[in-house]
Structure 1
Amino acid sequence: MENQEPKIITTEDGSHSVYLPAINESYHSSHGAYKESIHVFFLYGLDAWYARNRGKFPIRIFEVGFGTGLNAWLTLIWAEQNQVPVLYHTIEPYPLEKEIYEALNFTQLDETLTHFNGYFKRLHQMSWDKGMPMTDYFNIKKEKTTLQEVQLYPADLVFFDAFSPKKQPELWTLEMLKKIEDSMNPSAAFVTYCAAGHLKKNLQSLGLSLDEVPGPPGKKEMTRGWKKS
């Protein structure tokens, strides 16, 4: 019988991802985990939101899918480098085991970020379901729960990083998207790697205005929606 345990794979940009044989899906794009995260959630996510809302803080971010912890770690670095306070709320019903997250190579990819390396492990090791300040500018709450069960806080930016609609259709329904949209502050942004037509149609039906945004390596486009101010 095929081993169904999660295993680490190396993507095209040299960064790791985690592959789940049970659902034949990985946590990040095979075309480059690190580049995908930077492109979707920072270049066209946090950076774009901040350009529109400079001076408004703390920035409240909600992430669907803590996963490997890459987005949370990169957000911590962004907050420290920009000296802008971020309140980060993330959910994950199935946390990675220690032997997996300790073997991920994200902290080895950029020598200029070496002094932030220790925070990656701390993000995984911190207690679930409790908020805490990780640095002067980054406060995080991880919850071991589902999108269906979580109680949402007001959010300025949503990192929707769930598995694909084909693998987790229950997270991409209009009902779940409305739950998120209801929690979004005026002028908040919703970003995801997914560019499915039904997703865009649902977001537009909820009143979000969509941009035409190029996708990360291996994808023609992604999705970014803005809530009205």
Structure 2
Amino acid sequence: MSSEQADYASKIEVRTTADGSPTLYVPALDEHYHSRHGAAQESRHVFIEAGLQPLLWENSGQLDYPLQVLEVGLGTGLNALLTLKAARRHCVAVAYDGYETMPLPAAAVAALAPQWEDIPALRDAFAQLHTAPWNEPLALTIIFSLTKRLAEVQNAALPANHYNLIYFDAFAPEKQPELWTEAIFAKLYAAAAPGAVLVSYCAQGQFRRNLRAAGWLTEKLPGPPGKREMTRARKPAAGSSADF
């Protein structure tokens, strides 16, 4: 761990959000990992309800499995675990790649663990997720494989036309501007399979313009509690029109 990473990890704080679920606060960035209005409900609203579930419903019987999911900003693992829960409910196999550059300190992981105590399968998956080696695939269940990528996505060699669903969960544009550029979204577009969906909590105008400049079709959706809007984008399916 670099000195910068060590300093970041030593100052991270665990905070309880309005729905009772925990999140992390980074003093160096003055930024929370999730919405203070509810960490779990934000993740369910943005990534599961607006991303994963519609993709499965709209493409029933047409997607090859496992479903290939890419997350930019693995963080606490909340999105991955909620995706695992939904995959079990829908009986869908998932291969999940999560990119992260700042691994969580052990104290933060221990403080986050109690939120999963009442769900044994996810409690065990949470523990496995945070103890698993980086850059190696891990079968959290028979149908859910996770690979934690300790790397900057902007410098990663992503496979072409591969991912069905992208969770873009980086810190806000003013906190990590290098991750919100047209070049990043062009790279993700090239890595996305035809018909792929990208979802993000962010609704910033420049963000949507950068997505469209990279080829994505975008739409605004109602945001989670405390946020008026969010963004969903799609890579056109092969042979489809450019209309969303």
Say yes or no: TM over 0.5: yes
Q: Which residue of 2 aligns with 1:185?
A: 193
The counterpart of 1:207, out of the listed 215, 221, 230, is 215
Contact 1:70–1:106 under 8 Å retained in 2: no
TM-score by length of 1: 0.94
Contact 1:4–1:20 under 8 Å retained in 2: no
Quick one: distance in 2 between partners of 1:24 and 1:71?
22
* Alignment pair present for 1:163 and 2:171: yes
Quick one: distance in 1 between partners of 2:141 and 2:156?
25
Quick one: distance in 2 between partners of 1:177 and 1:74?
24
The counterpart of 2:234, out of the listed 223, 226, 229, is 226
The counterpart of 2:183, out of the listed 150, 175, 178, is 175
Which sits farther off after the overlay, 9-18 or 207-216?
207-216
Quick one: distance in 2 between partners of 1:106 and 1:203?
34
The counterpart of 2:116, out of the listed 107, 123, 142, is 107
Query: Any idea what the Cα deviations from partners look like across 1:66-112, whole Å, max 9, x if unmatched?
Result: 1011011111222222211101001111110111112114315xx4x
Contact 2:96–2:144 under 8 Å retained in 1: yes
Q: Which residue of 2 aligns with 1:35?
A: 41
Contact 1:102–1:121 under 8 Å retained in 2: no
Contact 1:152–1:183 under 8 Å retained in 2: yes
Q: How far off is 1:223 after superposition? A: 0.4
Q: Which residue of 2 aligns with 1:18?
A: 24
Quick one: distance in 1 between partners of 2:214 and 2:158?
17
Partner-residue secondary structure (3-state), 2:154: coil
- Alignment RMSD: 1.4
User: Which runs of no fewer than 5 residues in structure 2 stay unpaired?
Assistant: 1-8, 238-244
The counterpart of 1:7, out of the listed 13, 28, 35, is 13
Runs of 4+ in structure 1 displaced over 6 angstroms? none
Same amino acid, percent of matched pairs? 40
Partner-residue secondary structure (3-state), 1:152: coil
Contact 1:12–1:32 under 8 Å retained in 2: yes
Quick one: distance in 1 between partners of 2:215 and 2:29?
33
TM-score by length of 2: 0.88
Quick one: distance in 2 between partners of 1:145 and 1:195?
26
Contact 2:10–2:105 under 8 Å retained in 1: no
Q: How far off is 1:149 after superposition? A: 1.8
User: For this pair of structures, how many residues does the alignment match?
Assistant: 224
Q: Which residue of 2 aligns with 1:141?
A: 147
Partner-residue secondary structure (3-state), 1:189: strand
Quick one: distance in 1 between partners of 2:91 and 2:142?
8
Which sits farther off after the overlay, 139-148 or 32-41?
139-148
Q: How far off is 1:117 after superposition? A: 1.4
User: Which runs of no fewer than 5 residues in structure 1 stay unpaired?
Assistant: none
